[in-house]
Amino acid sequence: NESYGSAAYWDERYSQEPAGSHFDWFQSYSELSDLIQQHVPLPEAKICVLGCGNSTLSQDMYEAGYHSVVNVDISQVLVERMRTEHPEMTWVQADVRELPFESASFDVAIDKGSVTPLV
């Protein structure tokens, strides 16, 4: 869907969803936890979750001990909502094609599907 690369599409979509809604594209943390722990063994790792959406991945990772998580999404509506729901983590509105971070700011970046609408 070409609309998936548009901030306006996601702002509209998230503005219609009730607060507290969550949706995991592809797989949840419980399905990925072994893989994440294998490749990110240190809980103090600086992690960037690209195209985080309203997935519970970040929250589940936080509960598993990963406390240095920066979540990035193109939707300002979503980012504002998630900042309110989960102030313990960092939420940044940005397009994954133009990230506002210095090179090597993170130990690992996790992307569960934000690349799909870009190809």
pLDDT for residue 119 is more than 60: no
C-alpha dist (Å) from residue 53 to 38, 39, 65, 104, 119: 24, 22, 21, 23, 19
Q: Which residue has the tokens 């592809």?
A: 26
Q: Does the pLDDT value for residue 28 go beyond 90? A: no
Band (116; pLDDT cuts 50, 70, 90): low
Nearest Cα residue to 93 out of 115, 61, 71? 71
Say whether pTM exceeds 0.85. yes
CATH topology of domain 2-14+42-118: Rossmann fold (3.40.50)
Q: What is the pLDDT of residues 38-88, one digit of tens each?
A: 999 999 999 999 999 999 999 999 999 999 999 999 999 999 999 999 999
Q: Give the residue from 33, 111, 108 showing the smallest Cα distance to 68.
A: 108
Residue 118 confidence (pLDDT) above 60? no
Cα(112)–Cα(79) distance, integer angstroms: 17
What's the pLDDT band for 6 if we cut at 50, 70, 90?
confident
Annotated domain spans of the chain: 2-14+42-118
Q: Average pLDDT for residues 18-45, to the nearest whole number?
A: 88
Is residue 1 predicted with pLDDT exceeding 70? no
